[in-house]
């Protein structure tokens, strides 16, 4: 008779314990809130240097100013449709000059246009996927084309993408389109090509050259206002435009994003293992602007502290103490905490107008605002 293997007996409970632990961790992750969509230093929704498949809310308009030596970037980004993001950018290159004979000591300037198109939304099994083009309508110095996918795991939003051009300059593998046409295998140097002219759409270089991998995660920390971003940068900074090459000790970039309100984002990061990056994003949405009060509506009443409310009621009812009801008060801090805990609704202001109570804020539990209704 064959003796039972003692390792097999130990393996069964160990496997069961590991399975239970994995299930518990999975449930715990999915019980936490997903991180909100925030801007990268190029203005669009993404990590730090790289884009993601996420989109801002429909109708969002944002301005992002970022500095990462030697680049100062000023970006205006719009979300005209839920599936389309468009950015307009102005870059100041602090260590390059136009040329003394042209503009004296003026630093080199560059302008560009980006767009990102969502192909499909995230589902239970499939990630959200988007296609985008960077620097389409400028000099083409930073031109790139990419496909990126995102999947949410509770407080972690993970992305991975593939790019030709600037975002994928590391060139991790050859372009698969080269099997169709040899012209896709190589990408012309922008500095020596005929598309390095501001204002022209450089289509001749699109989808050409080796493909680089990029991606990373955004983590919603236990502090609601703080996000952690870690990314793998697909760019090779030894191939910067105009020979303005930069030192890169590591392709890993790490940053923190502070979101004190839905209108402000502050980012601090360490990139290339060699340089600090800081950015400020101001965000608004005309569609979310509160409607103007009607001309004959009474003004909103300021909510008084609980003690003042109790004293006011006591004074009002002092003439009829025998029928007065006991004074009650509302703990608005508790109401705010309960709304956040149950509905993921972050309260910014509570006010009252007549018999109506108004609560202003926004939900931060779901990636898509419609799901929070």
For residue range 27-38, list pLDDT tens digits in order: 444 446 889 999
Residue where a domain terminates, one of 228, 262, 288: 288
The pLDDT, as a whole number, for residue 41 is: 97
CATH number of the domain bearing residue 125: 2.40.160.40
DSSP-assigned letter for residue 52: -
Same domain for 188 and 282? Answer: yes
Measured in whole angstroms, how far is the alpha carbon of residue 343 from the centre of its chain?
22
267/341 same-domain check: no
What is the total count of domains within the chain?
A: 2
Mean pLDDT of all residues belonging to the chain: 82
| Closest listed residue to residue 74, CA positions, set 38, 108, 42, 50 | 42
Using alpha carbons, select from 132, 93, 130, 127 the residue that is nearest to residue 110: 93
pLDDT tens, position by position, 139-188: 788 999 999 999 999 999 999 999 999 999 999 999 999 999 989 999 98
Do 199 and 84 belong together in one domain? yes
Residue ranges making up the domain that contains 327: 306-372
pLDDT digits (tens, 9 = 90+) for 273-331: 999 999 999 999 987 766 666 666 666 656 555 555 555 555 555 555 444 445 457 78
CA 96/CA 122 separation, integer angstroms: 42
Q: Are residues 275 and 190 in the same domain?
A: yes
Asked whether residue 116 carries a pLDDT value surpassing 90, the answer given is: yes
Query: Token pair for residue 55?
Result: 């989109």
Q: Is residue 266 part of a domain?
A: yes
Q: In this structure, is residue 21 part of a structural domain?
A: no
Q: Which of 288, 319, 345 is the last residue of a domain?
A: 288
pTM of the predicted structure, to 2 decimals: 0.72
Task: Over range 230-255, report the average pLDDT.
Answer: 94
- Whole-angstrom distance, CA of residue 102 vs CA of residue 81: 41
Q: Domain for residue 2, yes or no?
A: no
Same domain for 271 and 341:
no
pLDDT recorded at residue 298: 63
Alpha-carbon span 264 to 111, nearest angstrom: 24
């Amino acid at each position: 008779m064959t003796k039972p293997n003692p390792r097999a007996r130990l393996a069964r409970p160990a496997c069961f314990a590991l399975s239970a632990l994995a299930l518990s961790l999975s449930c715990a992750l999915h019980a936490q809130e997903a991180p909100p969509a925030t801007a990268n230093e190029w203005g669009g929704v993404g990590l730090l240097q790289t884009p993601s498949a996420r989109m801002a809310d429909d109708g969002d308009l944002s301005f992002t100013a970022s500095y990462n030596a030697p680049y100062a970037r000023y970006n205006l980004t719009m979300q005209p449709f839920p599936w389309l993001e468009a950015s307009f950018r102005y870059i100041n290159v602090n260590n390059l000059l136009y040329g003394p004979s042209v503009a004296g000591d003026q630093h080199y300037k560059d302008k560009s246009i980006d767009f990102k198109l969502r192909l499909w939304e995230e589902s239970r099994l499939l990630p959200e996927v988007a296609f985008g083009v960077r620097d389409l309508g400028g000099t083409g110095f930073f031109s790139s084309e990419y496909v990126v996918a995102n999947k949410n795991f509770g407080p972690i939003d993970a992305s991975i993408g593939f790019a030709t051009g600037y975002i994928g300059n590391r060139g991790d593998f050859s372009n698969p389109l080269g099997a169709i046409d040899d012209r896709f295998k190589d990408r012309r140097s922008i500095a020596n090509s005929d598309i390095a002219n501001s204002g022209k759409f450089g289509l001749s270089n699109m989808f050409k050259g080796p493909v680089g991998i990029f991606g990373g995660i955004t983590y919603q920390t236990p502090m609601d206002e703080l996000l952690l971003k870690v990314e793998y940068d697909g760019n090779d900074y030894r191939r910067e435009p105009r020979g303005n090459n930069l030192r890169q000790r590591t392709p890993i970039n790490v940053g923190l994003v502070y979101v004190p309100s839905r209108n402000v984002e502050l980012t601090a990061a360490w990139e290339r293992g060699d340089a600090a990056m800081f950015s400020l994003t101001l965000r608004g949405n005309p569609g979310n602007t509160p409607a103007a009060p009607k001309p004959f509506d009474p003004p909103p009443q300021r909510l008084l502290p609980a003690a003042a409310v109790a004293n006011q009621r006591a004074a009002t009812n002092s003439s009829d103490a025998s029928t007065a009801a006991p004074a009650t008060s509302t703990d608005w801090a508790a109401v705010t905490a309960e709304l956040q805990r149950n509905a993921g609704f972050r309260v910014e202001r509570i006010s009252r107008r007549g018999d109506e109570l108004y609560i202003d804020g926004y939900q931060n539990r779901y990636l898509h605002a419609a799901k929070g209704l």
